[in-house]
Structures are given as C-alpha cells and as structure tokens.
Amino acid sequence: MTTNLLNYDVKGLADFCTEIGEKPFRAKQLLRWIHQFGITDFVDMTDLAKGLREKLTTLAVIESPQIISDYVAADGTRKWLLSVGAGNGIETVFIPEANRGTLCVSSQVGCALACTFCSTGKQGFNRNLTVAEIIGQLWIANKTLRIDPKDNTADTNRVVSNVVLMGMGEPLANFDNVVMALDLMLDDHAYGLSRRRVTVSTSGLVPAIDRLRERCPVALAVSLHAPNDSLRDQLVPINKKYPIKELLAACQRYLLAAPRDFITFEYVMLDGVNDSVSHANELIKLVRDTPCKFNLIPFNSFPGSDFRRSTSEAVCIFRDVLMQAGIVTTVRKTRGDDIAAACGQLAGQVKDKTRRSTYIKAETAE
Ligand code: SAH
Ligand code: SF4
C-alpha cells in the first residue's frame, strides 16, 4: 500500500519520514516540493538523496482529485468539477479580481445540514473529504493558474491569494481534516497564506466555532440568513440546535482570537422571505453588539428550488438600510452565471448517483 503524502501536514510528514527510517527534517523539503513546486514525481526532488527518492517512489504517491471538467466563464471565473472516486464530484471555483484571486474550496461531498435554499443541502450527505482532497483543490489551482507555467519557483507566480471554504459542504462538520488543510494553507513551506486571507464559512456549529478559535483561528464567515429564530429555523435547520443567541455569543468569543476584528455575516437574499426593510431593521438590532460586516448573496436558483432571487431593488434597499446603520455591507456579484458558479450547482446538475457516475466516467474516459 502506498501512502498519499498530500494527506499530511508538516507533522504528519515528519512522522512518515521517521517511520521509513529518515530524518524528520526532510518533511520541510518534501512539503516545498509537493505544495510550492507541485511536483508529483519523487525523481524530480533533486535535493533529496537518490536512495530516499527511490524509497519514496515505492512507498508513497502524491495524488490529488482528478479534473473532470474545467470551465472558464466570460468574466474569468473558473470552475473545476473534480472526481473524488466512486462517482462523486466536488467543485472548486476561482474568482479573479483586480487585487486578489480567491479560491472557493469544498469540504464535503454533499452536506447533512439541509439548508432549504441550498442545492448541496438538497443532495444530502455523502462523505467528508480527506485532507488530500481539500488541499488538493488548492494544489490543482496553483498548478493550473501559474502565470508562467514553466516557473514553479517564484512566489510572485502564484495566483491564488485568498481561500474561502464556501464550496460544497459544512467545513466545521469535517473539523479535523479541514484544520489540517488549513495548517497547510498557512504553512510557509507550503502555501504561506496569512490567517486573514483564509476564511471558513459555517452555518453555525457553535461548539466547532469554539474549537476553531482555539485550534486555528482564521477569518470567519457565518451564514446568518435570517434576523430571528423562527425564520432561521426554516432556512438553516441547524438553528434549532444552536439558536441565534448562542451563535452570536460564539461569534463574540471568536473575535477575541480572530485575525480580523469583525465577523462576516452571509445573508442569502430570498424574494419575499427575508429581504424586507423590516427584516433589515430587525437584523440591525440583532447584531448591535457584534462587530460585523454583511455580505448579501442574491439567491442562485437551481432546478427544483422553492425560492426566488430577490429583486435588485430589494437588495439595494436592504443594503442601504444596513449601511445607514453603520454596517459595512457588500453585495456578492453574481459572477460566472454562465457556468452556474453558485457553489454546489454544478455537481447538483448531475441529479442521481447513477447518472452522476455515468457522467463522471464518460468525462474521465476522454
Ligand atoms: N456550509 C457552509 C459553507 C458552504 S455554503 C455555510 O453554509 O456557510 C457557502 C455560502 O453559500 C453560504 O452562506 C450558503 O448559505 C450560501 N448558499 C448556499 N446555497 C445558496 C444559493 N442557492 N444561493 C446563494 N447562496 C447560497
Ligand atoms: Fe450545508 Fe452550507 Fe448548504 Fe447549509 S448552506 S446545506 S450548511 S453547504
């Protein structure tokens, strides 16, 4: 059995090196070859002794998910559908902007939390992604998006400057693997991203928010979506277990350790459901004691969804009401609409498991 080294952070690699009779400091060299240079063939790891390279070739592999499809939208948004085996597809989206490049990464196949407006939630839960499958998304993006494909050395050649765990799945429900992937994102020998540039988005798993604060406090986005429990219970069912008051208390505790001095609240704009001026006013009162910014997300509709996107007018008014109360509020651009870039939508198009595996097999056979 070979070991996939993409599953290991620096500590895991050091342990692996010790296990195979090598010095643990080799871990840092390996980390650089794997993550900074994107090398998969141990033979090319030229500063490792030949004997070690040969040993690695027989004992280990560097294996990321397989690319099934790779779409580029007119606005430059790029979306990969990746196979993680057994007919399961996940998606990764790259959003280029003038001063940064953001990669939206998935953490699970499906999601058990069943938010009613979410296509991933509607698919149900299949399984957690491994560390290799989570970090593999950044690994693939970095390899694919190099400015100069031949130059795999310079930091300036890297295009992904920010990572958001806002793809398929609930990252905090796959805590251990997500945190190990975060460690790799932050490690200077791997991707060297600052904590401020890595964001975990959660629907509000309160105990896990506290664990993240202790273990790896990166930037935090919380999917609020409603200004009161009765509405949030309907949209985000996990609210019944961790109601808004407890969630906001966890946010305040998080801020004591967070790399940014605010929490980002995501708020999906659903026509006639949560988008009125009175909802906005209720929200203002609710978050009075929580330093925050709002990101309004116009609902991305998908086949079989029960909701409609709020009108542009409603979104603008809602934003203005929050802004007038002194809350910084942005509206997510509906980028990449031509490739259905709303997280969860592409894999969601492949409806049942049988069809999905046929589709994936057909694509990978090419
Ligand atoms: N599970 C995590 C992260 C993944 S979802 C979470 O819920 O936060 C990332 C964001 O997209 C969340 O804010 C989620 O509520 C939102 N979202 C899900 N489905 C959507 C849709 N159809 N339209 C717009 N936003 C959606
Ligand atoms: Fe899961 Fe997030 Fe979708 Fe809710 S919005 S079902 S938590 S992926």
How many other C-beta atoms lie within 10 A of the C-beta of residue 4?
16
110 in ligand 2 pocket by Cβ < 6 Å?
no
- Of the candidates 45, 4, 39, 40, the residue with the CA atom closest to the CA atom of residue 26: 45
Task: Assign 339 a pLDDT band (cuts: 50, 70, 90).
Answer: very low
> How far apart (Å, rounded) are the C-alpha atoms in residues 32 and 79?
26
Q: Which domains can be identified in the chain, with CATH numbers?
A: 3-61 (1.10.150.530), 66-363 (3.20.20.70)
Per-residue pLDDT of 181-225, as tens digits, reads: 999 999 999 999 999 999 999 999 999 999 999 999 999 999 999
Q: What is the 3-state secondary structure (H, E, C) of 162-176?
A: EEEECCCCCHHHHHH
Q: Given a cut of 50, is residue 361 above it in pLDDT?
A: no
Q: What value does the mean pLDDT take over residues 69-82?
A: 93
Residue of 91, 133, 170, 266 marked active site:
91
User: Of 102-106, 182-186, 358-362, which range is least confident?
Assistant: 358-362
Rounded distance between C-alpha atoms, residue 300 and residue 52, angstroms: 50
Average confidence (pLDDT) over 271-278: 98
Question: Ligand 1 atom 3: the closest Cα is on which residue?
Answer: 166
List beta partners, residue 330. 295
pLDDT band for position 147 (50/70/90)?
A: low
Residue 275, burial from CB neighbour count under 10 angstroms (0-12, 13-18, 19+): buried
Q: Is the pLDDT of residue 352 over 80?
A: no
Specify the pLDDT at position 98: 87
Buried b (16+ CB within 10 A) or exposed e, 292-308: bebbbbbbbbbeebebe
Rounded to whole angstroms, the Cα distance separating 315 from 110 reads 29
Tell the residue number behind the tokens 């998935």, with chain if given: 106
Is the distance from the beta carbon of residue 90 to the nearest atom of ligand 1 less than 6 Å?
no
For ligand 2, atom 6: residue with the closest CA: 121
Mean pLDDT over 253-263 rounds to: 96
Whether pLDDT at 20 is above 80: yes
Which of 67-76, 280-289, 327-336 is the most confident on average? Answer: 280-289
Specify whether 118 is catalytic. no
Residue 333 is predicted with a pLDDT of 81
Q: State the sign of the Cα–Cα–Cα–Cα dihedral 177, 178, 181, 183.
A: negative
Is residue 91 annotated as a catalytic residue, yes or no?
yes
Average pLDDT over residues 301-312: 93
Which pLDDT does position 45 carry in this prediction? 95
- C-alpha to C-alpha distance for 258 and 216, rounded to whole angstroms: 9
pLDDT at residue 343 is higher than 50: no
pTM higher than 0.85 for the full model? yes
